[in-house]
Structure 1
Amino acid sequence: MNRVIATALAALIAAPALADDGDAAKGEKLFGKCKACHSIITDSGEVIVKGGRTGPDLYGVIGRQAGTFPDFKYGPDLVAAGEAGLIWNRKAFLEYVQDPRKFLQHHLDDKKAKSMMSFKLPKGGEDVYAYLTSLVPAPADAPAEAPAEGTSEDKPASE
Structure 2
Amino acid sequence: MKTALPIITLLCSSLILSACHKSPEQEATKTDPQNKVEQQLDATPIKEFPATEHDAQDIEILVNFNNQFSALSDEMENEIIKMQQDGSLTPEFELSRRQDNIQSAFNMLKELDLHTEQGRYIQGLLYSSWEAQQKQLKENVSIEAKQSVQGMNEYMQAQKQLQHWKNQTEKKS
TM norm structure 1? 0.27
Which structure has more helix as a fraction of its residues? 2
TM-score by length of 2: 0.25
Relative contact order, CA 8 A, sep 6+: which one is greater?
2
